[in-house]
C-alpha cells in the first residue's frame, strides 16, 4: 500500500501524516481480527489506484476513495477498536479533502480477486476423493490391497497369505489411523476347534474435512443397510457423500464405499456366518503404529490360532467329505484354496450354505484384487504332504528291507 500512496503523491497534495497512518496499517497487519475486513478494503483501494493515467486520473482517484470509504463503512461494526481501521478512515477523509473529492458520486469497481493456484483449488474441491487427490500429488494412481475373511474363518491377508483360524471371541481385522474393523467368532459346532464369524464392527474414524465418525455393525440375521445411527452417508460435512452404504442383496450383502480413503468394503451373510472383504489404498492400510500390530488382515492369524485345512475336520457325519467336494465343485470349479476352504467348512459345519460364503469371497476377490493373476491361490496342505511323504518313505524303505533280507 506504501507504493500506491507514494505513486499518487506527485499528482496530489498529501499531508505527511498520512504516511505515518499508512505505516501503521503495515505494522498492525498481523493484528487485524479475522472478522474485520479492513485489509480487504485496503487491497481493493491499492488495486484501483495503481497505474492511474490520462486526463481523468483525478476523477478516477476520487472514485477509488469513495469506494474505499464505502468499504470501510460496511465493515465498521466488526472493526470497532481496531487501530488499522481507524487509521484508514482518517486517512480517507484527509485525502478526499485535499483532492476536493465529494462524498457523493460514482465509485470504482474493485478488481476481481486473483484465482487461487490450481493445487489449492484442487485441495478445496477434491480432498475427499482419495484417488483424484493421490493422482494429483503423485502423478500416478494409488496402489491397492485386498483382504478377506469368510467361513471358518479363513483369512486372506494383504500379502496374499491364506490362514484358517480358530480365533474364538473378538479379534481386530484392521486397526489404523482411518479404520477399525473387528470380527467376533464362535465355534461352528459343539466341541469343534473351527469357528465362524457371527458379528462384525467397522468404525470409520472422524476425518474433519470429510466425514463424522461412523460405526457399522452387522450380526447374523441382521445385516443392515445403514450405519448404527441410521444414516447412509458420512454426515452433513461437505464431503459427507464420500462415505456411503449400499444394499446389494436385502439382508445378505451390503457394500460400503469410502471414497475419501480409497476403500470399499463388502459384508455378506451365508448360512450362519458373516464374511468381510476389503479393497483399500496401500497408504491407508499401512497407516498404523507399532501398538496396532495385531491385525488379521496385516499379519494373519497368530501361529497358536491356525488350523490346517487338510487335517480331518471334526464332523457329525451330516455331510461326508465326498459330498462336500461335490457341493463345493458346483460353486467353485477351480480347486484352489477357496475350494479347499469350502470343503473344510461344509464338512465341519454340516451346512451346505457355506459354499455360498466361499463363492462370495471369490467374487469379491475378482473385483477387489489389484492383480487378477493372484485370484486363485494353490497351497499343499499338511495332510497332503504327509500322505505323499509317507508313500515316498515307503518306496525308500522297501529296497532297504530287501537288502537286509539278503544279508541276514
| Tens of pLDDT, residues 177-229 | 999 999 999 887 666 666 889 999 999 999 988 999 999 999 999 999 999 99
Q: Where are the domains of the chain?
A: 2-98, 144-377
Residue with cell 488350523: 307
- Give pLDDT, residue 249: 96
Using an 8 Å Cβ cutoff, are 156 and 147 in contact?
A: yes
- Give pLDDT, residue 192: 67
- Give pLDDT, residue 19: 46
- Give pLDDT, residue 285: 96
- Give pLDDT, residue 313: 54
Residues 6+ apart with CB under 8 A from 206: 212, 213
- Give pLDDT, residue 310: 62
* Residue 251 vs residues 12, 33, 221, 246, 349: alpha-carbon distances, Å: 80, 54, 7, 11, 22
Residue with cell 484352489: 336
Give pLDDT tens digits for 100-152.
888 887 776 544 444 444 444 444 447 899 999 999 999 999 999 999 999 98
Residue 342, number of CB atoms within 10 A of its CB: 30
398: its cell numbers: 522297501
- Give pLDDT, residue 401: 35
Instruction: Give the chain's residues under pLDDT 50.
Output: 1-16, 19-20, 23-33, 110-125, 381-408
- Report if pTM > 0.85: no
Q: How far apart are CA 101 and CA 111, in angstroms?
A: 22
Which residue in 301, 321, 295 sits closest to 310, CA to CA?
321
* Residue 247 vs residues 120, 204, 231, 251, 363: alpha-carbon distances, Å: 36, 18, 13, 8, 16
Residue with cell 515307503: 394
- Give pLDDT, residue 202: 98
Looking from the CA of 195 toward its CB, the CA atoms found within 13 Å total 21
Domain 144-377 CATH (choose: 3.40.50.300, 3.40.1000.10, 3.30.200.20, 3.40.190.290): 3.40.1000.10
Amino acid at each position: 500500500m506504501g507504493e500506491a500512496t507514494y505513486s499518487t503523491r506527485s499528482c496530489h497534495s498529501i499531508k505527511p501524516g498520512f504516511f505515518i497512518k499508512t505505516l501503521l496499517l503495515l505494522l498492525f497487519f498481523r493484528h487485524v481480527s479475522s472478522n474485520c475486513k479492513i485489509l480487504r478494503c485496503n487491497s481493493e483501494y491499492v488495486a484501483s489506484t495503481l497505474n492511474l493515467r490520462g486526463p481523468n486520473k483525478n476523477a478516477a482517484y476520487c472514485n477509488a476513495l469513495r469506494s474505499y470509504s464505502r468499504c470501510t463503512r460496511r465493515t465498521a461494526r466488526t472493526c470497532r477498536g481496531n487501530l488499522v481501521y481507524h487509521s484508514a478512515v482518517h486517512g480517507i477523509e484527509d485525502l478526499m479533502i485535499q483532492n476536493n473529492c465529494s462524498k457523493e458520486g460514482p465509485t470504482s469497481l474493485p478488481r476481481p480477486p486473483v484465482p487461487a493456484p490450481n493445487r489449492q483449488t484442487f485441495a478445496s474441491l477434491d480432498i475427499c476423493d482419495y484417488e483424484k487427490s493421490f493422482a494429483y500429488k503423485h502423478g500416478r494412481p494409488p496402489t491397492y490391497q485386498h483382504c478377506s475373511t469368510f467361513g471358518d474363518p479363513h483369512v486372506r491377508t494383504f500379502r496374499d497369505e491364506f490362514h484358517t483360524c480358530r480365533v474364538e471371541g473378538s479379534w481386530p481385522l484392521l486397526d489404523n489411523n482411518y479404520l477399525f474393523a473387528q470380527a467376533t467368532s464362535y465355534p461352528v459346532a459343539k466341541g469343534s476347534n473351527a469357528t465362524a464369524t457371527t458379528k462384525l464392527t467397522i468404525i470409520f474414524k472422524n476425518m474433519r474435512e470429510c466425514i463424522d465418525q461412523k460405526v457399522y455393525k452387522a450380526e447374523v440375521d441382521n445385516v443392515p443397510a445403514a450405519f448404527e445411527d441410521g444414516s447412509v452417508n458420512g454426515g452433513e460435512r461437505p464431503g459427507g457423500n464420500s462415505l456411503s452404504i449400499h444394499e446389494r442383496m436385502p439382508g445378505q450383502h451390503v457394500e460400503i464405499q469410502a471414497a475419501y480413503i480409497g476403500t470399499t468394503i463388502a459384508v455378506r451373510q451365508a448360512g450362519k456366518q458373516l464374511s468381510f472383504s476389503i479393497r483399500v489404498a496401500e497408504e491407508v492400510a499401512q497407516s498404523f503404529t507399532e501398538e496396532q500390530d495385531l491385525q488379521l488382515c496385516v499379519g494373519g492369524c497368530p501361529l497358536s490360532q491356525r488350523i490346517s485345512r487338510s487335517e480331518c475336520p471334526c464332523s457329525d457325519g451330516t455331510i461326508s467329505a465326498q459330498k462336500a467336494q461335490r457341493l463345493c465343485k458346483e460353486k467353485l470349479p477351480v480347486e484352489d484354496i477357496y475350494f479347499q476352504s469350502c470343503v473344510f467348512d461344509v464338512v465341519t459345519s454340516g451346512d451346505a450354505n457355506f459354499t455360498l460364503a466361499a463363492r462370495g469371497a471369490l467374487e469379491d476377490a475378482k473385483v477387489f484384487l489389484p492383480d487378477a493373476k493372484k485370484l486363485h491361490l494353490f497351497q499343499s496342505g499338511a495332510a497332503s504332504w504327509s500322505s505323499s511323504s509317507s508313500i515316498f518313505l515307503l518306496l525308500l524303505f522297501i529296497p532297504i528291507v530287501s537288502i537286509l533280507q539278503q544279508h541276514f
